[in-house]
């Protein structure tokens, strides 16, 4: 396992924690929390795999995935963690996480023959639709679709730049890092400046 894998698992873990916190907000039991943690972490990649035709979906037989979700539930439950205590950590780790997920989604989609445009679409879906599905399971209007901070937009910007940089001979790790830095920067900047997309 290299540094990139570690980073990916950290991202997944934070996604799972976010799902567990959401479950608490909606007063679910620990089974519901496990479902929400899993869906938040893996829902976007699952939808991407279904759409591009990868089968089985990516997490099947990945025991580490289940362990991470389990750990997120145990920690959230035992220590009665809540969102406020870790707001900054979650915000930052989540931003790195969606950066990684965007790139992973783009690369897998390209490997399945998608063109650049649709690869970016799938990158954004990979990074952001897990939270959307979790919101639906909570019977809430998905945050992703409402006016707020730039979230999917940040992924889209990072994804487009990643695809463009692939055209010039640039080492993968550098390109990936640039993409993540851009997404984190857009996230921070949009939060500071209270930027958001206009309502339709």
Q: Which residues bind its own copies (CB under 8 A)?
A: 20, 23-24, 26-33, 35-36, 46, 50-53, 55-57, 60-61, 63, 66, 73, 76-77, 112-115, 117-118, 121, 132, 136-142, 144-148, 152-153, 196-200
Min dist CB 171 to its own copies, Å, is: 28
The smaller minimum CB distance to its own copies, of residues 4 and 118, is found at 118
Tokens of 165: 């940089």
**What does the alpha-carbon distance between residue 162 and residue 72 come to, in Å, rounded to a whole number?**
31
Distance between CA atoms of 175 and 163, rounded to whole angstroms? 9
Nearer to its own copies, 62 or 172 (CB): 62
| Residue whose entry in the numeric block shows the structure tokens 């993968």 | 172
Query: Nearer Cβ to its own copies, position 24 or 191?
Result: 24
- Residue closer to its own copies (CB basis): 10 or 32: 32
Q: Min. distance of Cβ 186 from its own copies in angstroms?
A: 13
Distance, in Å, from the CA atom of 172 to the CA atom of 121, rounded to the nearest integer, reads: 20
Rounded to 10°, the helix 30-52/63-78 angle is: 150
Q: How far is the CB of 200 from its own copies (least distance, A)?
A: 4
In whole angstroms, the minimum distance from the beta carbon of 19 to its own copies comes to 10
Which tokens sit at 77? 């439950």
On whether the CB atoms of residues 180 and 100 are closer than 8 A, the answer is yes
């Amino acid at each position: 396992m290299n540094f990139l894998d570690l980073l990916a698992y950290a991202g997944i873990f934070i996604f799972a924690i976010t799902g567990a916190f959401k479950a608490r907000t909606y007063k679910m039991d620990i089974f519901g929390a496990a479902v929400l943690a899993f869906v938040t972490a893996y829902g976007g990649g699952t939808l991407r795999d279904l759409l591009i035709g990868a089968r089985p979906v990516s997490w099947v037989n990945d025991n580490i995935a289940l362990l991470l979700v389990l750990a997120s539930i145990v920690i959230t439950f035992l220590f009665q963690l809540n969102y406020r205590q870790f707001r900054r950590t979650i915000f930052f780790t989540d931003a790195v996480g969606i950066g990684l997920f965007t790139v992973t989604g783009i690369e897998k989609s390209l490997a399945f023959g998608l063109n650049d445009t649709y690869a970016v679409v799938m990158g954004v879906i990979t990074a952001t639709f897990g939270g959307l599905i979790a919101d639906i399971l909570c019977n809430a209007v998905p945050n992703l679709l409402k006016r707020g901070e730039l979230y999917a937009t940040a992924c889209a910007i990072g994804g487009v730049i990643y695809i463009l940089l692939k055209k010039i001979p640039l080492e993968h790790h550098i390109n990936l890092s640039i993409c993540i830095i851009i997404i984190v920067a857009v996230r921070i900047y949009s939060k500071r400046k209270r930027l958001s997309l206009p309502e339709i």
